[in-house]
Amino acid sequence: METKNIMIVGVGGQGTLLTSRILGNLIRKYGYDVKLSEVHGMAQRGGSVVTFVRYGDKVYEPIVEEGMADVLIAFERLEAIRYQDFLKDDGVIVLNDVRIDPMPVVIGACEYPKDIVDELKKGHTVYSVNANEEAIKLGNSRVFNLIILGLAAKHLDFKVEDWLSVIEETVPPKTIELNKKAFLLGYEKGE
């Protein structure tokens, strides 16, 4: 199989690491060679963060580069547009349609780009949901990332049962039911 490349981008503190861990454990179940690459430390303090997931018969470099990504999972709009050039021409974007202003925007040094979603749609297929709002409806704003993962799952080659069992193995025991619910909510939005 040709190597598949997934990127998860967002804002430090949004929980991209949990998402990549779930993906990593899932891919292992299917017997692929897998490499994940994460950002720890300084960049986690509200900065722009990127996680790479690559799998296939044999994976060498752990990073995804320009024009390589099959799926771009973006936890925030500005981060989606920042990394859109990493997608293949036929790559898809799974977007959490929310806005988090970076400090240069907050202090008025520059403007938050307008019409990001339209811009993204010009070049790629975009599946989006405001997962933060949906998560609050579920009773916990933190599980928005599982909703996004559910939406992305529609465009990846793994069975729902396997997703659910990996979620069970990966998230803290007390939050299993909530996380599964969030995942399924996203999954159904992908229909």
Partner 1 sequence: MKKLMLGNEAIARGAFEAGVKVASAYPGTPSTEISENLVQYKEIYCEWAPNEKVATEVAIGASMAGVRSMACMKHVGLNVAADPLYTAGYIGVNGGMVLVVADDPGLYSSQNEQDTRNHARGALVCCIEPSDSQEAKDFTKFAYKISEEYDMPVILRTTTRLAHSQQEVELCDRVEVEDKPYEKNIAKNVMMPANAKRRHVIVEEKLARLAKDGANFEINKMEINDTSIGFVTCGIAYQYVKEAMPNASVLKLGLVNPLPMDLIKEFAKKVDKLVIFEELMPIIEEQVKAAGIDCVGKEMFTVLGEYSANMLKKAFGKAVPAIKQNNLPMRPPILCPGCPHRSVFSVLKKLKIHASGDIGCYTLGAVQPLGVVDSTVCMGASISVLHGIQKAKGDEFTKDWVAVIGDSTFLHTGVNSLMNTVYNKGVGVVMILDNRTTGMTGHQDHAATGKTLQGEETNAVDIPALCRAIGVKRVFEISAFDQKGLEKLLKEELSLRQLSVIVTKAPCALLKGVVFKDKCKEDTEKCKKCGRCLSIGCPALTKCADGTIKIDQSMCNGCGLCQTYCAFDAIKLIKGE
Q: What φ, ψ does residue 175 adopt, rounded to 5°?
A: -105, 10
DSSP secondary structure letters along 85-124:
GGEEEEEEEEEE------HHHHTTSSPPPS-HHHHHHHHS
Counting contacts by CB under 8 A, is residue 162 touching partner 1?
Answer: no
Site for partner 1 (CB under 8 A): how many residues? 51
The stretch among 105-113, 148-156, 158-166, 182-190 that binds partner 1 (CB under 8 A) is 105-113
Q: Is 105 in the site for partner 1 (CB under 8 A)?
A: yes
The piece of 46-54, 146-154, 158-166, 175-183 that touches partner 1 (CB under 8 A) is 46-54
**Residue 53 bridge partners (DSSP):** 6, 36
Residues 1, 30, 57, 106: which binds partner 1 (CB under 8 A)?
106
**Stretches 7-15, 149-157, 174-182, 183-191: which one binds partner 1 (CB under 8 A)?**
7-15
Select 58 or 191, whichever has its Cβ closest to partner 1. 58
State the Cα–Cα distance between residues 161 and 176, nearest whole angstrom: 14
- Inter-helix orientation angle 144-153/131-138, to 10°: 120
Measured between alpha carbons, how far is 95 from 107 in angstroms, rounded to an integer?
26
Query: Is 63 near partner 1 (CB under 8 A)?
Result: yes
Length of the chain: 191
The pattern of x and - marking residues 115 through 154 that bind partner 1 according to CB under 8 A reads -----------------x---x----x-------------
Q: What is the token pair recorded at 29?
A: 């179940």
